[in-house]
Amino acid sequence: MAYYGLVEFENQSKKGYDNATYVRITNAGAYYLNELIYKFAYLDLVWMDTPILDWSVVDDLLKPVVELKGYKDPRDLDDRFYRTKIFLDYIKEMEEMDFENNPELRESDLMRKEFVPKIIESFQEEKQYIQSKRDVGFADGSPP
77-111 confidence digits (pLDDT tens) = 888 999 999 999 999 999 999 999 988 888 877 67
**Residues contacting 39, CB < 8 A, separation 6+:** 122, 126
Mark whether 55 and 6 lie in a shared domain.
no
The pTM of the whole model exceeds 0.85: no
Residue 19 belongs to what domain range?
1-34
* Gap between the Cα atoms of 2 and 17, Å rounded: 9
User: pLDDT tens digits, residue range 2-13?
Assistant: 778 888 887 665
Mark whether 74 and 132 lie in a shared domain.
yes
Mark whether 44 and 25 lie in a shared domain.
no
Number of domains present in the structure of the chain: 2
Please check whether residue 45 lies inside any domain of the structure.
yes
pLDDT of res. 13? 59
Please check whether residue 144 lies inside any domain of the structure.
no
Are 99 and 117 in contact by the 8 Å Cβ rule? The answer is: no
Three-state DSSP class for residue 25: strand
* Gap between the Cα atoms of 51 and 102, Å rounded: 20
Are 116 and 89 in contact by the 8 Å Cβ rule? The answer is: no
Mark whether 30 and 41 lie in a shared domain.
no
pLDDT of res. 27? 92
